């Protein structure tokens, strides 16, 4: 009986009931992002129908397009992070840091359910990115 308890505390994955909860949260977030992207795209199409009457209007339209493209890039990255997290749930690797292979804290998973790294490793990766040692692709879409 004691060894079973040890096995549960040493496990590197989130407990099964919690994993099911995270799966629902991730699926809901993915749907919200997709809906938001659809609404933004529709607004962008409508905005394109308006022909700018002067240089200021044209500048504003270009700025809005730039914002749309940046937002879309962020949303696509977040959708990839969510899809990766859902895949880790399916393969039994959810809740394990991809860097140190230690469990990711429940507090972190509650805050960022698509987290790939524990706080310590995420901070180390962010420091390496800031120092120019790594490309930004390693950084998570934490929002």
120: domain CATH number is: 1.20.120.910
Residue 59 lies in a domain: yes
Residue 34 lies in a domain: yes
Tens of pLDDT, residue by residue over 103-136, are: 999 999 999 999 999 999 999 999 999 998 887 6
Residue 73 lies in a domain: yes
Residue 119 lies in a domain: yes
Query: Which residues constitute the domain of residue 89?
Result: 15-138
> Is pTM, for the whole model, over 0.85?
no
As beta bridge partners, residue 129 has none
pLDDT at 133: 86
Residue 67 lies in a domain: yes
Number of domains in the chain: 1
Residue 88 lies in a domain: yes
The answer to whether the Cα torsion of 133, 96, 108, 76 is positive or negative is positive
Contact partners, residue 90, CB within 8 Å, separation at least 6 = none
Mean of pLDDT values over 9-19: 61
Arithmetic mean of pLDDT over the chain: 79
Backbone φ and ψ for 134, nearest 5 degrees, come out as -130, 155
What confidence tier does 5 reach under pLDDT thresholds 50, 70, 90? very low
Residue 3 lies in a domain: no
pLDDT at 2: 42
Does the pLDDT value for residue 49 go beyond 80? no
CA 7 to centroid of chain Cα atoms: 30
Residue 2 lies in a domain: no
Tens of pLDDT, residue by residue over 61-74, are: 666 666 666 677 88
């Amino acid at each position: 009986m004691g060894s079973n308890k040890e096995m549960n505390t040493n496990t590197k994955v989130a407990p099964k009931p919690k994993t099911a909860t995270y799966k629902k949260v991730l699926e809901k977030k993915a749907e919200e992002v997709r809906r938001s992207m659809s609404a933004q795209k529709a607004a962008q199409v409508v905005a394109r129908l308006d022909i700018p009457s002067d240089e200021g209007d044209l500048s504003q339209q270009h700025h809005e397009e730039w914002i749309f493209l940046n937002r879309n890039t962020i949303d696509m990255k977040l959708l990839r992070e969510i899809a990766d997290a859902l895949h880790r749930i399916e393969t039994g690797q959810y809740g394990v840091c991809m860097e140190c292979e230690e469990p990711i804290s429940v507090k972190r998973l509650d805050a960022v359910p698509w987290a790939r790294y524990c706080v310590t490793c995420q901070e180390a990766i962010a420091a390496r990115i800031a120092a120019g040692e790594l490309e930004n692709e390693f950084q998570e879409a934490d929002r």
